[in-house]
Every structure is written in structure tokens, then in C-alpha cells.
């Protein structure tokens, strides 16, 4: 069986471009991904950074859903601690009604930003927000999947509907695997954040509790990859994202620089590529090399699907990367 491929789009902002440009490019890339045969197109949530435009995935999902016909569109993900479970459920029920059987709601616990921005997102700023993610998740599942217990004071507010989207658990740590298994949720692990997720995925599969809508465990592994016609060209294109990522880690996020700017910075900081490879797993090369690398990671996780995140300065290069990857898997 051909490995299902999907896209995780962080809506990168290229140097010299605007947020509006980045969002329009996300919609264009989604159309391209649909034409190439990708299964899902998830958009990320990040706040307070000059590098990524996707602050509000639910709005972008609506635009992408309207611009495509068969592609599953979803959040990669909604950072639930910032929000009311009821509001998230209402928003995604509306998206599910507009695009029946095409919407995924993936939720995560991470802030998706720095502590100050996370604090600014709070409605009540009298203190730090409560660490009650399991309760939030249970309430959300009640609205969308299981129904709330009769004893809950929120029982009458919202009940699962035929168009309620499936809920996924996102994660880059062992704890997320525990929650996904306990709640009987499909699970997406961010290998591009933490390349040591094999044990988390194994624990999820071993301890999975079947649920009404998810009788079997299901794993997506999200992988950073970039494809070009040659390995040298792929390595050249990747320098833009590598430099931007290290700036981000250093607390000084920048827009995605051009290859020329990135290579100039690397010439003056030759340790850049080594530091990047130590902090992140990235599969960069020609189509055959990247295909084999993705297959290796999928086997490592025992994953059912691969989701690919690619960042380049040039939008056409990003589209071409996804096109070459899809072709490599289609001809295998």
C-alpha cells in the first residue's frame, strides 16, 4: 500500500514579503498539494514571531477548505490551553458543517509562543493560567465526540453532531502519547521538533484504549524535509530555513532569508549547519534520498502516515519540493 502523505504548513514569511503574502501562498500550496494527491493539509498555530504567519488556524482552514474540493484540512494544531473548549468546539463544528467529512481538529498543549505572548493571550491576567489540559481535553471531547456527563453543568450547551470533526492529539513528548492512548485518539508526533519519539509512539500503540470513533491506534509522524532535483540544490535551498530556525532558537526570530543572505551568514558562522543538525532532524536531498529517509522514519515510528513540513524562501521551490516528493512515492 502506498504511504499516505500529508502537509503541515507553518505559513512561513519570506524576507521582503508580508503576512498577507504568506497566507495567500498557503492557500496556493494547498491547491497544489491537492493536485499532487496529498491526503491532509494542516496549518499551524504560532504567535508573536516574524517568521510564521499562522496565528489563527481556524480562519485559514476555512479559506483552504473553500479553495479545495477533496483535501482534508485541519489544525496542526489548536493550542488548547489558550481557549475555551466550548468555543473551539463551536468553531470546528461550523467548519465541519461547511466542509463535511473534510475537517480535522488536532489539539496540542504547547503555548506556540514565548511566555509573555502566552500571558497576553490570557483573558484573565490575575495570575498564571491553570495547568488543566486533561480537563480541557475531556470537555472538548464531550462536545464533539462522547457527550458530556449528565452531572456536568455544561451538558445542555453542545452535543456531538454528524459533522463534528475527528479530534487528534498532537505531541512532541511522552506525555502526549499517554493522553492520546487514554482517550482513544489518533496521534500525530512532531519528529521535526523531537526526533526521539519512537518510544512515545510505541507506548501509545501498546496502551491504546479503543474509543467509539477510533477503535484502533493511528499514528502520523510529522517530518521536516526538502526535495530538489539534486542534493546540492536541496542543500542550498535549505540554508534559508536553517538560518531562520537558529535565529528563532536564539530568541531573535526573523523572516525567512533569501538563500544568498543565508549563505552569507553561514560563511561567517560555519557552525550553523552543525548546530541545526544537532537540534533537528531534517531530510534534505533529491527525490530518491528523501523518499528513503521518510520511509525510514515511518518505520521507526510504526506510523500509518507521514506529514511533511517544508520551508523555503522561494514559494515555487516549496511547491516543487512537495511535487517531487509526491511523484517519488507515486512511482514507487
Residue-wise pLDDT for 218-254, tens only, equals 999 999 999 999 999 999 999 999 999 888 877 888 9
Query: Which letter, b or e, does each residue of 71-102 get, where b requires 16 or more Cβ atoms within 10 Å of its Cβ?
Result: bbbbbbbbbbbbbebeebbebbbebbeebeeb
Tell me phi and psi for residue 254, to 5 degrees.
Answer: -130, 160
Nearest to 218 by CA among 145, 321, 304: 304
| Confidence band of 45 (pLDDT split at 50, 70, 90) | very high
- Average pLDDT of the chain, as a whole number: 94
Whether 33 is covered by a domain: the verdict is yes
**Which residues does 103 contact at the CB level (< 8 Å), separation at least 6?**
61, 65, 72, 73, 74, 92, 95, 96, 165
Res 314: pLDDT: 98
Whole domain around residue 116: which residue ranges? 5-229+284-330
Whether 177 is covered by a domain: the verdict is yes
Whether 254 is covered by a domain: the verdict is no
CA atoms of 239 and 264, how far apart (whole Å): 10
Q: Classify the phi-psi angles of 326: left when phi > 0, otherwise alpha if psi is within -120 to 50, otherwise beta.
A: alpha
Whether 248 is covered by a domain: the verdict is no
Q: Above 80 in pLDDT, residue 113?
A: no
Res 270: pLDDT: 75
For 277-301, what is the mean pLDDT? 95
pTM to 2 decimal places: 0.95
Q: Above 80 in pLDDT, residue 275?
A: no
Whether 291 is covered by a domain: the verdict is yes
Cell numbers representing residue 183 in the block: 482517550
Render pLDDT for 129-186 as a digit per residue (tens, 0 to 9). 778 899 999 999 999 999 998 888 898 888 899 999 999 999 999 999 999 999 999 9
Whether 270 is covered by a domain: the verdict is no
Render pLDDT for 53-92 as a digit per residue (tens, 0 to 9). 999 999 999 999 999 999 999 999 999 999 999 999 999 9
Render pLDDT for 15-27 as a digit per residue (tens, 0 to 9). 999 999 999 999 9
Whether 245 is covered by a domain: the verdict is no
Q: Above 90 in pLDDT, residue 35?
A: yes
Res 298: pLDDT: 98
Render pLDDT for 313-323 as a digit per residue (tens, 0 to 9). 999 999 999 99
Neighbours of 246 (CB within 10 A): 21
Number of domains making up the chain: 1
Cell numbers representing residue 138 in the block: 475531556
CA atoms of 143 and 253, how far apart (whole Å): 37
What value, to the nearest 5°, has the Cα angle with vertex 73 and ends 67 and 78?
125
| Confidence band of 269 (pLDDT split at 50, 70, 90) | confident
Whether 143 is covered by a domain: the verdict is yes
Res 332: pLDDT: 61
- The CATH number of residue 189's host domain is 3.20.20.30
Res 1: pLDDT: 46
H or E element in which residue 268 lies: helix 259-268
Amino acid at each position: 500500500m502506498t504511504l499516505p502523505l500529508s502537509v503541515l504548513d507553518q505559513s512561513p514569511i519570506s524576507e521582503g514579503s508580508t503576512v498577507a503574502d504568506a497566507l495567500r501562498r498557503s492557500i496556493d500550496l494547498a491547491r497544489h498539494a491537492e493536485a499532487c494527491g496529498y491526503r491532509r493539509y494542516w496549518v499551524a498555530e504560532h504567535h508573536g514571531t516574524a517568521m510564521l504567519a499562522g496565528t489563527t488556524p481556524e480562519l485559514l482552514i476555512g479559506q483552504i477548505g473553500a479553495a479545495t474540493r477533496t483535501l482534508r484540512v485541519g489544525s496542526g494544531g489548536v493550542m488548547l490551553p489558550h481557549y475555551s473548549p466550548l468555543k473551539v468546539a463551536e468553531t470546528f463544528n461550523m467548519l465541519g458543517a461547511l466542509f463535511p467529512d473534510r475537517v480535522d481538529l488536532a489539539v496540542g498543549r504547547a503555548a506556540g509562543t514565548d511566555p509573555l505572548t502566552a500571558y497576553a493571550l490570557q483573558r484573565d491576567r490575575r495570575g498564571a493560567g491553570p495547568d488543566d489540559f486533561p480537563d480541557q481535553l475531556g470537555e472538548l471531547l464531550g462536545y464533539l465526540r462522547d457527550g458530556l456527563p449528565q452531572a456536568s453543568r455544561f451538558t445542555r450547551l453542545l452535543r456531538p453532531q454528524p459533522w463534528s470533526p475527528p479530534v487528534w492529539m498532537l505531541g512532541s513528548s511522552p506525555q502526549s502519547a499517554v493522553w492520546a492512548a487514554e482517550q482513544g485518539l489518533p496521534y500525530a508526533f512532531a519528529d521535526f521538533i523531537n526526533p526521539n519519539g519512537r518510544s512515545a509512539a510505541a507506548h501509545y500503540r501498546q496502551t491504546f484504549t479503543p474509543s467509539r470513533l477510533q477503535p484502533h491506534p493511528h499514528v502520523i509522524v510529522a517530518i521536516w524535509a526538502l526535495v530538489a532535483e539534486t542534493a546540492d540544490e536541496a542543500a542550498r535551498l535549505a540554508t534559508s530555513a536553517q538560518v531562520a530556525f537558529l535565529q528563532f532558537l536564539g530568541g531573535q526570530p526573523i523572516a525567512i532569508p533569501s538563500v544568498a543572505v543565508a549563505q552569507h551568514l553561514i560563511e561567517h558562522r560555519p557552525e550553523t549547519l552543525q548546530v541545526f543538525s544537532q537540534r533537528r532532524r531534517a531530510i534534505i536531498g533529491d527525490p530518491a534520498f528523501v523518499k528513503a529517509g521518510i520511509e525510514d522514519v515511518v518505520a521507526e515510528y510504526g506510523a500509518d502516515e507521514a506529514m511533511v513540513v517544508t520551508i523555503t524562501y522561494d514559494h515555487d521551490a516549496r511547491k516543487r519540493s512537495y511535487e517531487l516528493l509526491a511523484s517519488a512515492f507515486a512511482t514507487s
